[in-house]
Structure 1
């Protein structure tokens, strides 16, 4: 292999692409196999249980290392090709435009990936856009910034710019961003944040659509441009204030500080799992339970849906209102509590990924209303729009679950439906009653959600508290579910 590719720059870059593609294909195969292994009901017994345990604990970890090694090799080959091109003085259109557009040198400064994320944009590409191509992108940006069209608004323009940016490699995207002034970026931020409605466009620009545009910029930009986008686009950062978790002993602990911190923990550890779910100060037990249910059913779920882009941003894959998976990219900083720690979900042994699910979801969540129950004497619930962490607090199972699992979720009070889901390994969560009933099992908290981790030898379902693995687990029968719990949300 080395003898064939040698120092041929074109073939080195081709090898880099093959390595990246192989990494992505193997990651997809691993995820598909995990779903088949964990979700199969045809193979039962001790041998089946042992194999599933080995698969989740050993085999997937080995495959993950191969996937990561392939991606790292692809990046290393690409860097070698770049160095070889510089050393040999290779030029052409790419060399000329690099000088004119500011170059791709910023990408050489990206930090080594310390976590186990699967890269979204492993091929950085070259800053080789022509002046004509740059002018077309600039025109699209101006159109997206202008929301003065009475008849159609600018929704179509925002989506056209998004699609154009999606076709760019990171180095090209960075080249384009450098041609925009601060004022032009501010105008683009204002225009794409408007609803985009005109007389003949009833829906306008949805939260997902405006964040798809932001995703194309944040996920690919150099760290320097990420800092610039964060400064110039106010809605790139959500409001981190919290009403608090009313189910906690002592009641809710609200926060209005809206301070931010740079976390030390990696986004994805070596073996992410359900015990990484450690709900913080936000009252988002449903969100954290949904995340716990998803990774309990599929050990690769976190790695497939959350990734560190290596440039100061993290991407999270959520489902929009039409059931389509969409990447939502946020900056890597997280809300800070009064003690200097993370206000939201705490990092687990294998990563900080739950905290980024919270942050991404807060940017696009539209299901909040003013009908959530509150304790006597507490302020009435209010509806918060996307862009607020408060929007993801205190909501109902299906509302939050569908952003993580897709539209095929249902709420039920039928114990048989819940038990069927648990026996088949389908993600499920349950909600408790508003007041603690007499005789409730140990670990029961009113107004709270728990996620199902399976069944025990007696046929009871096992519930885990999203506050963390150190809190008591509950094994409950069908009778106890009917008596002590409000309902369940299951994936179909």
Structure 2
């Protein structure tokens, strides 16, 4: 049953009062750094209070890479700068720079994704989503470093740039505004000494995403200096199975600009640039590519998880079963190693399961020599197969120091076994 409608004058006054109140809240929220999502929720509430559908100009923002026609003959090699913008691109870039300055200097920047009182001004992410790579390059040529840093903090701007801008430009923007484009690596070595600390971002010359036959392979793994054996072992275990290889391939999309979009089973999409942490000598600090030409899908997935979790330091240490769950979207089965038989392993492998194992902490093992000579403590391995004489082949995600164990050694020196599920 509908109630009596309020007097028109009373409704208008109430609505204006609410709008003014919300405007103050929105300004405080924005200045405090909480972000545009909260502001958007507030705006939706005001629309309901005012019995107004708040119709605005339809958004053009979409996380889509440029078409082949838009990309043209631009290089995708991250070590090669893009061509200089054309005169038409410079004209469009300058116009866009002026519009962005107007936006950042107006109340629109306070209201961010709101469009009230902005005289049709489009949010920067919407403007960028309709620009070609050359026009985007010309736009940033017009902006000062301070303007660039402010623009990169606007909602959705970096997401659009990672899909539509040249990789070379993204690399320059990270130098101007560290942490705006790339996940953090600076805290990985804070609590320990290492000969391989990351100091900068570098590309992999002549890199290819997949190895021979366009497929991921266990032999592509080379862990490097980051303690994420659990994550690489999970990748390697999937690469051992037909369904796992299909899952890995479907997770990664290479974009025309040379970036990679990784879609996790939970639905989250993460786009990463083709630059990876390097040390002072210019060598890769974390996962390293294998093969010639170098195969980089493990580097891409490592970086994508680091970005998803909030930095490389957040993926140091973990359980390979959790790694496989992140990759498949399904729970993994865990077993104590001393309860597993050779027949169990053979059945899992025969049925296309991905299988990893974990070693014990060195202090928990009586027969320490096997750790010094053939296994590494507190480490994750991939179960590669069973030899003809019944031994278990373990693949080390380091890319070397693999191990072959008898079942007695398997039961004694390993702590756990994780088995993937694809359904």
| TM-score, L = length of structure 2 | 0.59
The 1:242/1:432 distance shift into structure 2, 3 A limit, reads: farther
Looking at structure 2, the residues matched to 309 and 161 of structure 1 have their Cα atoms a distance apart, in angstroms, of 24
Looking at structure 1, the residues matched to 170 and 197 of structure 2 have their Cα atoms a distance apart, in angstroms, of 26
1:211-250 to 2 correspondence within 5 Å? Answer: 214-223=158-167, 225-235=169-179, 236-241=181-186
1:264-279 to 2 correspondence within 5 Å? Answer: 264-271=205-212, 272-279=216-223
Larger Rg: 2
C-alpha displacement of 1:214: 3.5
The 1:256/1:143 distance shift into structure 2, 3 A limit, reads: farther
Looking at structure 1, the residues matched to 283 and 225 of structure 2 have their Cα atoms a distance apart, in angstroms, of 11
1:63-462 to 2 correspondence within 5 Å? Answer: 78=69, 107-111=72-76, 146=110, 172=132, 175=135, 181=143, 185-192=148-155, 214-223=158-167, 225-235=169-179, 236-241=181-186, 253=194, 255-271=196-212, 272-298=216-242, 299-300=245-246, 302-309=248-255, 311=257, 313-319=258-264, 323-324=266-267, 326=269, 328-349=270-291, 351-365=295-309, 386-387=310-311, 389-413=312-336, 415=340, 420-435=347-362, 436-438=365-367, 440=370, 443-457=374-388, 461-462=392-393
C-alpha displacement of 1:258: 2.1
Looking at structure 1, the residues matched to 393 and 325 of structure 2 have their Cα atoms a distance apart, in angstroms, of 22
C-alpha displacement of 1:143: 9.9
| C-alpha distance after superposition, 1:103-141 (max 9, x if no partner) | x6x743324799xxxxxxxxxxxx9x9x99x989x979x
Tell me, which stretches of 5 or more residues in structure 2 are unaligned?
Answer: 1-66, 80-88, 115-121
The 1:460/1:425 distance shift into structure 2, 3 A limit, reads: farther
The 1:162/1:400 distance shift into structure 2, 3 A limit, reads: farther
1:489 maps onto 2:418 in alignment: yes
CA contact (8 A) 2:218 2:237 kept: yes
The 1:111/1:186 distance shift into structure 2, 3 A limit, reads: closer
CA contact (8 A) 1:454 1:462 kept: yes
| Partner SS, residue 357 of structure 1 | helix
CA contact (8 A) 1:107 1:222 kept: no
| C-alpha distance after superposition, 1:204-254 (max 9, x if no partner) | xxxxxx7xx64442122134543454345532122334757x9xxxx9736
1:469-488 to 2 correspondence within 5 Å? Answer: 470-477=400-407, 480-488=409-417
Looking at structure 1, the residues matched to 360 and 195 of structure 2 have their Cα atoms a distance apart, in angstroms, of 22
C-alpha displacement of 1:262: 2.7
Looking at structure 2, the residues matched to 191 and 233 of structure 1 have their Cα atoms a distance apart, in angstroms, of 13
How many aligned residue pairs are there?
317
Looking at structure 2, the residues matched to 482 and 473 of structure 1 have their Cα atoms a distance apart, in angstroms, of 14
The partner residue of 1:464 within 378, 395, 413 is 395
Looking at structure 2, the residues matched to 146 and 174 of structure 1 have their Cα atoms a distance apart, in angstroms, of 29
| Partner SS, residue 463 of structure 1 | strand
| TM-score, L = length of structure 1 | 0.52
The 1:481/1:409 distance shift into structure 2, 3 A limit, reads: same
| Partner SS, residue 234 of structure 1 | coil
- Corresponding residue of 1:52: none
Q: Give the alignment's Cα RMSD to 1 decimal.
A: 4.7
Looking at structure 2, the residues matched to 487 and 403 of structure 1 have their Cα atoms a distance apart, in angstroms, of 18
